[in-house]
Amino acid sequence: MKDQKILQILKKVKAIYTNDHFVLTSGKHAAVYINKDTLYPHTRETAKVGKMMAEKFKNKKIDVVVAPAVGGTILSQWTAYYLTKLTKREVLSAYTEKDKGTLASASESVQLLRRGYDKVVKNKRVLIVEDLTSTGTSVKKVVSVVKATGGKVVAICVMVNRDPKNVNTKTLGVPFISLGELIVKQYDPNNCELCKQNIPINVTLGHGKKFLEEKKH
């Protein structure tokens, strides 16, 4: 049974929303949403999450913790901080940035190591961290850029996995763990049960506003 302490932390900061109609980062629709941005202002709780991640990898000789910007950057910092304390050797933190270029959609974007972080990662043992995962697309992109830069990906650790059946070590091709699981039924926007029931899309949280604007055009 997965340790669900992480969900208690998220509930404490009121980051979990249910019984609504949300558009996730992946573009899929769901009735449950985790607003990780509600967590990050609470530094004590965010630090706890970083410590939980660090404790799982304190014996893996991690050199650098890498995460996709923006939210993952905060987790990368805290995880590296606690790994440094636990191992008594400096563990660095870096992050990747999204680059859509001329591509048509966000799903086709790539993650890049800018600001000299490619040199930080090269020939190093890397732990990739992320806040939430629904499809694993974002972490796959981070794995690709770390490997292309010459880093060795030791593992991936996410705060909450929303689809353990399809996002796991086997599907990602890299050792993968999550601090907790919150299985959420996700719908393709072209075949969404919530849309069929005419449940209004939440435009305050998630990507509902952008979805509706694109749909209009």
* CATH number, domain containing residue 197: 3.40.50.2020
* pLDDT tens by residue, the chain, 217 residues: 455 899 999 999 999 999 999 999 888 999 999 999 999 999 999 999 999 999 999 999 999 999 998 889 999 999 999 999 999 999 999 999 988 664 445 556 789 999 999 999 999 999 999 999 988 888 999 999 999 999 999 999 999 999 999 999 999 999 999 999 998 899 999 999 999 999 999 999 999 999 999 888 7
Q: How many domains would you assign to the chain?
A: 1
One-letter amino acid of 105: S
Identify the domain containing residue 63 by its residue range.
5-216
With contact defined as beta carbons under 8 Å apart, do 209 and 36 qualify? no
With contact defined as beta carbons under 8 Å apart, do 107 and 135 qualify? no
With contact defined as beta carbons under 8 Å apart, do 16 and 34 qualify? yes
pTM: 0.88
Distance CA 65, CA 58 (A): 12
With contact defined as beta carbons under 8 Å apart, do 126 and 151 qualify? yes
Element (H, E) at 185: none
DSSP single-letter state for residue 189: G
Two tokens, residue 89: 């050797």
